[in-house]
């Protein structure tokens, strides 16, 4: 039993060493990833009730030679911790807006509304945030009306007045705002109603359970009815099955994103989807 225990302990230590080593390797590699051009963006379609593309969400990808493909869920928190998220966020903004300009010039399909870009709470919290966004709009010459900034309830660590002031400055330029992962944070709708928002994105955890869990059904129902009172659009994330889409449509949701329609795709495929302009 003792040996068994020691064996287990040994195994446990190895596992920890591995993950610590892995983490260290990730940190090291992240420092060079930008200059080595290891990041790229993929684009996931957002569709209306008939499956037509109304937008894309830009999602960050990292491919490193040693580590392989690392998911943003793993490397973004590390980038945040080691102080790289500012630079990386800037790269995402530049790259996404540059691509948006190309699509804009090629002619976007009639129902296309916005390209969504994820903004990390620390990016939003910077005093220079408004300037950063205005600057990328000017440099890339995009129509600001085509930009949807996805922020999370995490940005509410700042005072509501300063959050609202930043958003209002950009709102004046016609930039759109969505609340990402809505329902998973702690902010109340009473709080959010003071912000110039355009859309709530219902978190995929609710969508995943909608056909089996009556609670999720009730939560989504409530979000949709409150959003309509506040004049906000609602987009359901993580729609994987037709059945989920049908239920969501029945309760008044008409914007969707998820594997059922399309996975995030590389830029050439995204361009082809826009040119094709057919329902997904």
Where along the sequence are the contacts to Ca ion (CB under 5 A)? 118, 150, 180-181, 237
Using CB under 6 A, which residues numbered 107 to 166 contact ligand C2E? 118, 120
Residue partners of 44: CB distance under 8 A and separation at least 6: 56, 57, 59, 257, 262, 263, 264, 265
DSSP percent split of the chain into helix, strand, coil, nearest 5: 50, 20, 30
Q: Compute CA distances 223 → 34, 43, 160, 241, 248, whole Å.
A: 39, 26, 21, 21, 12
**Which range touches ligand C2E (CB under 6 A), out of 26-34, 69-77, 124-132, 140-148?**
69-77
Among 13, 18, 19, 71, binds ligand C2E (CB under 6 A): 71
Instruction: Give the nearest distance from C-beta 112 to ligand C2E in angstroms.
Output: 19
Among 72, 86, 185, 196, binds ligand C2E (CB under 6 A): 72
CB closer to ligand C2E, 139 vs 263: 263
Q: Compute CA distances 12 → 1, 24, 25, 87, whole Å.
A: 16, 18, 20, 36
Query: Binds 259, which of ligand C2E, Ca ion, none (CB < 5 to 8 A, cut-off by type)?
Result: ligand C2E
Instruction: Give the nearest distance from C-beta 189 to ligand C2E in angstroms.
Output: 20
Task: Return d(Cα 19, Cα 239) in angstroms, integer.
Answer: 32
92 binds ligand C2E per the rule CB under 6 A: yes
Cα-based torsion angle of the residue sequence 128, 177, 229, 260 in order, rounded to the nearest 10 degrees: -150
CB closer to ligand C2E, 110 vs 180: 180
DSSP-derived secondary structure letter, 165: H
Instruction: Give the nearest distance from C-beta 136 to ligand C2E in angstroms.
Output: 14
CB closer to ligand C2E, 92 vs 146: 92
140: left (phi over 0), alpha (psi -120 to 50) or beta: alpha
Contacts to ligand C2E by CB under 6 A = 44, 59-60, 71-73, 76, 92, 118, 120, 180-181, 204, 238-240, 257-259, 264
């Amino acid at each position: 039993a003792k040996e068994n225990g020691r064996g287990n302990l040994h195994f446990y230590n190895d596992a920890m060493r591995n993950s610590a080593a892995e983490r260290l390797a990730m940190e090291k590699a992240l420092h060079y990833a930008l200059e080595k051009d290891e990041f790229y963006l993929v684009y996931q379609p957002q569709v209306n009730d008939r499956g037509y593309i109304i937008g894309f969400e830009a999602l960050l990808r990292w491919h490193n030679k040693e580590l392989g493909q690392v998911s943003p869920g793993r490397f973004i928190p590390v980038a945040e911790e080691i102080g790289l998220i500012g630079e990386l966020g800037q790269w995402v903004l530049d790259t996404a807006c540059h691509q948006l300009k190309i699509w804009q010039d090629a002619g976007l399909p009639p129902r296309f509304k916005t390209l969504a870009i994820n903004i990390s709470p620390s990016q939003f919290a910077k005093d220079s945030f408004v300037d950063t966004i205005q600057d990328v709009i000017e440099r890339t010459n995009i129509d600001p009306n085509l930009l949807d900034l996805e922020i999370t309830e995490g940005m509410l660590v700042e005072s509501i007045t300063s959050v609202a002031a930043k958003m209002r400055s950009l709102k004046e330029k016609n930039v759109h705002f969505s609340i990402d992962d809505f329902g998973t944070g702690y902010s109340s709708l009473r709080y959010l109603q003071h912000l110039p928002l355009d859309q709530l994105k219902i978190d995929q955890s609710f969508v995943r359970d909608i056909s089996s869990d009556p609670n999720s059904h009730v939560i989504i129902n409530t979000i949709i009815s409150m959003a309509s009172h506040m004049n906000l659009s609602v987009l359901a994330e993580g729609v994987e099955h037709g059945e989920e889409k049908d239920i969501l449509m029945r309760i008044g949701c008409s914007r969707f994103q998820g594997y059922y329609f399309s996975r995030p795709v590389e830029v050439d495929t995204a361009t082809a989807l826009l040119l094709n302009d057919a329902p997904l």
